[in-house]
Amino acid sequence: MTIEANIPTLPPLSAQSGNLRPILEWLARRAEPVAISLGAILAGLALFSIFITVVGKSPIDLFKLMYTGGFGSWFSIQNSLSRAAPLLLTALCVALPARLGLVIIGGEGAVVLGGVAAAAAALPLTGSVSPIIVLPVMAIAGMIMGGIWIGMVGVLRHYRGVNETIASLLMAYIAIALMNHFIEGPLRDPASLNKPSTTPLPADYMLGNIPGMDVNWGLVIGILACIVSWILIEATSFGFAARIAGGNVRAAQIQGLPVGRLIVGFTALAGSFAGLAGMVEVAAVQGSANASLAAGYGYTGILVAFLARHNPLAIIPVAILLGGIDASGGLIQRRMGLPDATVLVLQGTLFVVILFCETFYGRFKIFNPDLWKRTA
């Protein structure tokens, strides 16, 4: 005797056109991350609104200002894009190792040392070598330095079992101390009296703006890096091996995957992107390496990576969203009299809620076609 359960059924296959069901299945699977992420963002915004109301301000005003400041005019959009540009690269520094199951939060260290390396590499070359060569050399120097820095974390993790989260954080603090030491000591430009910096890049050596926009080329570099990373992870065997190892390192080792090479390779690549962000900051914004390199891009990148669920393509819109939130921070401060920490509270709330919503994956039947019943 069979027991019939009352599960909603789809019409039998024979009653449908042959194409509909697979499309629905495809949609359902794809919809899950989008729906849950959107739901999480909305929930986070709702919680934040409650907080703002309790503080005595109007959440509606706040969101309107956030929109105005972030996306409400061409100026605002460019503001958001400018702030998003470094985040694209520093988020990759977190997202790439995360696919391997490693949580690396010390990207800030790679950013500052990459910037110092880029500035140092430019020192002997400016004036005698054309910018077309100097800029790529700076980029390579920044990437190598950043790659070594985070790669070391990977090496320590694989060969000594040191927890990579804590190690990368310690390395970030050490990096900032090293940066200060070099900028105020051996690499200091004697003319930079009151703000120790390396020798400034001449104007024609700077990485300029995208034509027609007030945003520097770092944005394009970041987007390209995200696309390259996505291709690497989704379409190469190296990336495929990484995704497997990320699921279970021991199983991967047993299967003979080169886990050591994966870990070091990915962490070095991650660090090189962060180092590149440092180079862009030097070549496109500051013109020299100085203490302003430690601007927190590395730490905001952590948030971007987790919000994007470590998907390099998703990093692009998330970085722009966070750039917009950051961009509106100043307006919120000036118009509503709220402290600049308001933006931090919003980011923290979103972060917690998004991470919490990870638990909803696989819980809703509607997103899992395997659980849909089919009557014969």
Which positions from 106 through 165 interact with another protein, judged by CB under 8 A? Answer: 156, 158-163, 165
Residues in the interface with another protein (CB under 8 A) total 75
Cβ at position 340, least distance to another protein in Å: 5
In the complex with another protein, the residue whose CB is nearer, 265 or 323, is 323
In the complex with another protein, the residue whose CB is nearer, 166 or 231, is 166
Binders of another protein among 354-373, rule CB under 8 A?
355-356, 358-359, 361-362
In the complex with another protein, the residue whose CB is nearer, 38 or 355, is 355
Binders of another protein among 7-66, rule CB under 8 A?
none
Q: How far apart are CA 111 and CA 114, in angstroms?
A: 5
Cβ at position 105, least distance to another protein in Å: 6
Q: How far apart are CA 182 and CA 162, in angstroms?
A: 28
HSE of 293 in the Cβ direction (CA atoms, 13 Å)? 42
Give the interface segment with another protein, choosing from 19-27, 142-150, 271-279, 339-347 (CB under 8 A).
339-347
In the complex with another protein, the residue whose CB is nearer, 10 or 162, is 162
Cβ at position 192, least distance to another protein in Å: 9
Q: Is 286 exposed, middle or buried (0-12, 13-18, 19+ CB in 10 A)?
A: buried
In the numeric block, which tokens belong to residue 41?
């963002």
Give the interface segment with another protein, choosing from 56-64, 168-176, 225-233, 266-274 (CB under 8 A).
168-176
In the complex with another protein, the residue whose CB is nearer, 147 or 196, is 196
* Residue 311 makes contact with another protein by CB under 8 A: no
Cβ at position 204, least distance to another protein in Å: 14
Q: How far apart are CA 110 and CA 93, in angstroms?
A: 9
* Residue 90 makes contact with another protein by CB under 8 A: no
Among 90, 267, 272, 342, binds another protein (CB under 8 A): 342
Runs of H (alpha helix) within 281-340: 297-307, 312-336
CB-based contacts of 201, cutoff 8 Å, min separation 6: 119, 122, 126, 282, 283, 287, 288
Q: How far apart are CA 106 and CA 257, in angstroms?
A: 26
In the complex with another protein, the residue whose CB is nearer, 83 or 99, is 83
Among 20, 330, 373, 374, binds another protein (CB under 8 A): 330
In the complex with another protein, the residue whose CB is nearer, 10 or 331, is 331
Among 36, 117, 207, 303, binds another protein (CB under 8 A): 303
In the numeric block, which tokens belong to residue 197?
């910096």
Binders of another protein among 230-289, rule CB under 8 A?
281, 285-287
CB-based contacts of 114, cutoff 8 Å, min separation 6: 141, 142, 143, 145, 146, 149, 274, 275, 276, 277, 278, 279
Q: Residue 193 carries which DSSP code?
A: -
Among 27, 340, 373, 374, binds another protein (CB under 8 A): 340
Tally of CB atoms within 10 A around 147: 25
Cβ at position 321, least distance to another protein in Å: 16
Q: For residue 209, list its beta bridge partners.
A: 216
Cβ at position 118, least distance to another protein in Å: 16
* Nearest residue to 29 via CA among 306, 317, 364: 364
In this structure, the chain runs to a length of 376
Query: Computed from CA positions of residues 180, 186, 187, 192, in that sequence, does the dihedral angle turn out positive or negative?
Result: positive
Binders of another protein among 55-84, rule CB under 8 A?
68-69, 73, 75, 79, 82-83
Using the structure block, give the residue that is written with the tokens 């503080």: 55
